Amino acid sequence: MLTNLLIVLPIFALILAGWIARKSGALGPNATREVNRLVVYLALPALLFDIMANAKIEQIWQPGFILAFSAGCAVIFVGTLFWRVAKGRHLADAAVDALNASYANTGFVGFPLVLSLVGASGMAPTLIATILTVCILFAVAIILIEGGLQSETRRRDIAFKTLASLCKNPLLVAPVLGAIFMLSGWALPQPVHSFMKLLSGAASPCALIALGLFLAGPQAATATNRLSTTGILVALKLIAHPLVTWVVAGPLLGLPAGSVHVAVLLATLPTGTGPFMLAEFYNREASLTGRVVLISTILSILTISAYLLIA
């Protein structure tokens, strides 16, 4: 448990730094939006491009693991999406909620946790899970949000406007360009690689600071979201997601024990900051997402430790 606590402690420190900056007046009421725009338009696209461009096909081509982790995310995402839509939730909001329940924090927590518990052999599966979560799952949610925000009644108009929005979205364009670069076999020039590393390094810290800024603002204090919804989304992420992943990876696919362990361990991770960035960027209800990120991160110390005891 101490290992888990030490790994997630910087997350709480960055959220607290944002909270203090807002409460003390060091950053003003528009800081949340501006810091989040920095992440969406600069830092996160650089991170997505860097991940894809520097991935090796032979390293990430593990069909069994890809299927197991993808299926775990897909079942939770689709199930949550249908549940929230059935409850009368707008499609854009339901997509964010579905992301809350299935978006594991593989980048900020996954790499150090797997490295400390599994070793170097777990780095390739963690990279695969990061690509699936940060690039593929994220892209699906953006497509649903963009589609849900179109108001035209004619399907052709909706499809055209959605496609136009997607083509201009840096969070989709960046990983596509990175994938093209990876498939080309070209190596990034060293100055470009250094630039991408410097810029992408700001993505997670700035997103967590933006979350702290939001939690310190009046919009979080006056939120009307029921705690029961937060609890269900947190339970889906911390309990249902790893359980479904285990069922797929173990009993259904019969993957080796080591692969099953890494897949489930990554599925136990708390909700990352991606859903919060989308909720804030698209002017959806970010208060619910902020609570899910914060509470799931706190409780993951217990749930990950519990899994390790029975694994």
Identify the pLDDT of residue 163.
67
Identify the pLDDT of residue 154.
54
Lowest-confidence range among 15-29, 39-53, 109-123, 165-179? 165-179
In one-letter notation, the amino acid at residue 212 is G
Identify the pLDDT of residue 71.
96
- pLDDT tens track for 177-234: 888 888 888 878 888 889 998 998 888 888 889 888 888 876 655 555 566 899 999 9
DSSP structural state of residue 268: T
In one-letter notation, the amino acid at residue 195 is F
Contacts (Cβ under 8 Å, ≥6 apart) of 128: 60, 62, 65, 66, 69
- pLDDT tens track for 29-82: 888 889 888 988 898 888 888 888 888 887 788 999 999 999 999 999 999 999
More confident residue, 228 or 2: 228
Residue 135 scores a pLDDT above 90: no
Identify the pLDDT of residue 139.
87
Lookup: tokens for 269? 């991770």
Cα 244 from Cα 196, distance rounded (Å)? 35
Kindly compute the dihedral angle of the four CA atoms of residues 7, 267, 80, 220, in this order, to the nearest 10 degrees. Answer: 0
Identify the pLDDT of residue 17.
92
Per-residue confidence at 95, pLDDT binned at 50, 70, 90? very high
Per-residue confidence at 100, pLDDT binned at 50, 70, 90? very high
More confident residue, 309 or 79: 79
Identify the pLDDT of residue 162.
61
What is the model's pTM?
0.83
The helix or strand, by DSSP H or E, that contains position 185, with its residue range, turns out to be none
Cα 257 from Cα 39, distance rounded (Å)? 37
Which residue in 285, 238, 233 sits closest to 100, CA to CA? 233
Identify the pLDDT of residue 270.
92
Residue 132 scores a pLDDT above 60: yes
Cα 10 from Cα 46, distance rounded (Å)? 22
Q: How many CB atoms lie within 10 A of CB 183?
A: 11
- pLDDT tens track for 249-305: 999 999 999 999 999 999 999 998 889 888 888 888 888 898 899 899 889 888 998
Q: What domains, with CATH codes, occur in the chain?
A: 2-310 (1.20.1530)
